[in-house]
Chain A
Amino acid sequence: MGMTITEKILCRHTGLKELHPGMLINARVDIALGNDITAPIAIAEFRKAGGLKVFDRDKVVLIPDHFTPNKDIDSAQQCKFMREFAREQGLTHYYDVGEVGIEHALLPEQGIVLPGDLVIGADSHTCTYGALGAFATGVGSTDLAAVMMTGEVWFKVPETMKIVFSGKMKKWVSGKDLILYIIGSIGVDGALYKAMEFAGDTIGQLSMADRLTIANMVIEAGAKNGIFIPDDITKAYVAERAKRPYSFYNSDPDCQYADVININVSGIEPQVAFPHIPSNVRGISQVGDVKIDQVVIGSCTNGRIEDLRVAAGILKNKKAAPRVRLIIVPATQGIYKQALQEGLIEIFIDAHAAVSTPTCGACLGGHMGVLADGERAVSTTNRNFIGRMGHTGSEVYLTSPAVAAASAVLGRIAGPEEL
């Protein structure tokens, strides 16, 4: 019997000839990731277990991106603890403020994660790298500690749910809208424990940025990983970035899927996830009059150059509504510099946006845009749980960069077509 791409990548990282869903395996890890919130616990566990040297200093990646530049003394202590460990271990991939970016934007950009890799990260959005045709999934800090010791991780091989997109996307519809639409359809546990494999003739229309956005949010449907079969777009993306060998995998024609969901994208309009759960999704035409106080454009979901270009296209020669605070966060220093060179930053500043250095801060209510009681934000991030971006009495509406930019100008949730 054939294997899916997820099964194949897992299999190639074990000594097994084949495997099937439900099997418990020990797999070799190509890249293991931690950040300034999750790594400190992993490092403490690593030490407690007698760990002296990580299994491979090229494969353990530590990224201080959540509460950086340090938001307070406690965060500074956590970052210092992680920094000292990274230096002591001589980690190849440790990037500090000034070089660092949001992990799930930085690692693909720098060619640190590549097609065919098995990646674990102590961050739930590690699933982002499935866009490249890698197996990537989030774990906790103790799992990361175990991988730092042994280079291996245990998994139950997941069943695969195949999502087949067909048709042409409408103007202003992006990868963000497709994944919000799916989460709205299947629910926040609709893909629990499963792999989500994206296929169909629409995929060829999706840029790498769109694919990264889609894979990023499969965790919001409960999935273990999300994955795209590499194609010419993948090949072009990695060719200019990779500094080590990589492999392209495909699903066998006779592989088994637990479910197949067919989605014709041509009828999908821009989507908005209402509070307080990412599955509470409506089309933009069904939103009504929702006044807003803040707009955030950025994050591991939507802080890439393509996202900033879309936002700038809408914000050019316009201003954020007087009562709206617009915060734009390029996800990496590379993206920031490119946005500067393309004139996007000037457009943002003229639109009265605050443009920030890369950080996860606003997305999880850390810093750089915390919400007060009763405030509403439109955000291109990935979660809108109670209190996610600040006070428990605040509200978060998740959208694409296009809807976020248009909403900033109009002062209420709206699509670009209203401008």
Chain B
Amino acid sequence: MKFRGKVWKFGNNVDTDAIIAARYLVSSDPAFLAAHCMEDADPDFMKKISAGDIIVAGENFGCGSSREHAPIAIKAAGISCVVAKSFARIFYRNAFNIGLPIFESRDLWDAVSDGQEIEVDGDNGTIRILNSNSGPLRIEPIPPFMQQLVSDGGLMKHIAKKKA
């Protein structure tokens, strides 16, 4: 699991209303939700990003509502993964359940600037900031059960596999 992309930085406590505002919850169509991803935090976000880019955030990313529309919007927007200092717990579950890769790193946020390119290596548990002289940064290890969810392709496929 390796991801390489440009960084878009957000602060602490990015809430799910900022990721996808409630006024758009009249649909669960991923393309529709993606069109409004991060709109209330940065109205131009969708104009600026390219496929594969990476959201880097501070503490408690995804706090607030349980809406799965939030990780769905991020994934459908083409963001390859989210790296935050910490995640709110429902968002954390939802991301793994739908197959949006997320990683915890205490150090990345302070080390990286908007627009810099990084490479996240989920297998080795490291992040490299490209074109910089800083050494590799450590990612918090993903618990084995969550790794299983990821490798099975999300919660529903994991359950189907268990039943089989």
Residue numbers of A with Cβ under 8 A of B are 24, 37-38, 40-41, 44-45, 48-50, 66-67, 71-72, 74-75, 78, 121-124, 126, 138-143, 145-146, 149-150, 154, 188-189, 192-193, 219, 222, 224, 277, 364-366, 383, 385-388, 392
B144-164 to A contact mask, C-beta < 8 Å, 1/0: 010000000011110110000
Contact B94 A142 (CB under 8 A): yes
Flag the segment in B57-65, B73-81, B112-120, B122-130 that touches A. B57-65
Flag the segment in B1-9, B44-52, B84-92, B134-142 that touches A. B84-92
A72, A145, A388 — which one has the most chain B CB atoms within 10 A of its CB? A388
Contact B156 A41 (CB under 8 A): no
Given the contacts A78-B26, A142-B97, A387-B40, A149 and B159 also touching, CB distance less than 8 Å: yes
Contact B66 A139 (CB under 8 A): yes
Given the contacts A138-B90, A146-B156, A193-B89, A41 and B28 also touching, CB distance less than 8 Å: yes
Contact B145 A366 (CB under 8 A): no
Contact B64 A140 (CB under 8 A): no
* Closest beta carbon of chain B to A276's beta carbon, Å: 9
> B22 is contacted by which of A78, A124, A365 (Cβ under 8 Å)?
A365
Contact B160 A140 (CB under 8 A): no
Task: Give 27 pairs: A residue, B residue, CB < 8 Å, sorted on A.
Answer: A24-B145, A37-B25, A38-B68, A40-B28, A49-B160, A74-B26, A124-B64, A124-B65, A140-B97, A141-B94, A143-B94, A143-B155, A146-B155, A188-B63, A192-B60, A193-B89, A219-B64, A222-B63, A222-B89, A224-B89, A364-B17, A364-B65, A365-B22, A386-B40, A387-B17, A388-B22, A392-B40
B106 CB contacts on chain A under 8 angstroms: none
B133 at the binding interface (Cβ < 8 Å): no
Interchain CA distance A71-B22 in the complex, whole Å: 13
A66 CB contacts on chain B under 8 angstroms: 25
B63 CB contacts on chain A under 8 angstroms: 188-189, 222
* Closest beta carbon of chain A to B5's beta carbon, Å: 25
B40 CB contacts on chain A under 8 angstroms: 386-387, 392
Residue numbers of B with Cβ under 8 A of A are 13, 15, 17-18, 21-23, 25-28, 40-41, 59-60, 63-69, 72, 86, 88-90, 93-94, 97-98, 143, 145, 154-157, 159-160
B13 CB contacts on chain A under 8 angstroms: 188-189, 277
Contact B66 A386 (CB under 8 A): no
Contact A142 B98 (CB under 8 A): yes
Contact B145 A154 (CB under 8 A): yes
Contact B22 A188 (CB under 8 A): no
Contact A386 B18 (CB under 8 A): yes
Contact B65 A41 (CB under 8 A): no
Instruction: Rank and list the top 7 A-B pairs by shortest CB-CB distance, nearest first.
Output: A74-B26, A140-B94, A364-B22, A142-B97, A140-B68, A189-B60, A124-B66
Given the contacts A74-B26, A365-B21, A41 and B66 also touching, CB distance less than 8 Å: no
* Closest beta carbon of chain B to A25's beta carbon, Å: 11
Given the contacts A75-B26, A189-B60, A385-B17, A50 and B160 also touching, CB distance less than 8 Å: yes
A124 CB contacts on chain B under 8 angstroms: 64-66, 90
B60 CB contacts on chain A under 8 angstroms: 188-189, 192, 222
* Closest beta carbon of chain A to B159's beta carbon, Å: 6
Interchain CA distance A385-B93 in the complex, whole Å: 22
Q: Given A146-B159, A366-B23, 18 more contacts at CB 8 Å?
A: A49-B159, A67-B25, A67-B26, A74-B27, A138-B66, A138-B90, A139-B93, A140-B90, A140-B97, A142-B68, A143-B155, A146-B155, A193-B89, A222-B89, A277-B13, A365-B22, A383-B17, A387-B17
* Closest beta carbon of chain B to A156's beta carbon, Å: 8
Contact A192 B89 (CB under 8 A): yes
Contact B64 A385 (CB under 8 A): yes
* Closest beta carbon of chain B to A140's beta carbon, Å: 4
B22, B59, B157, B159 — which one has the most chain A CB atoms within 10 A of its CB? B22
Interchain CA distance A364-B157 in the complex, whole Å: 32
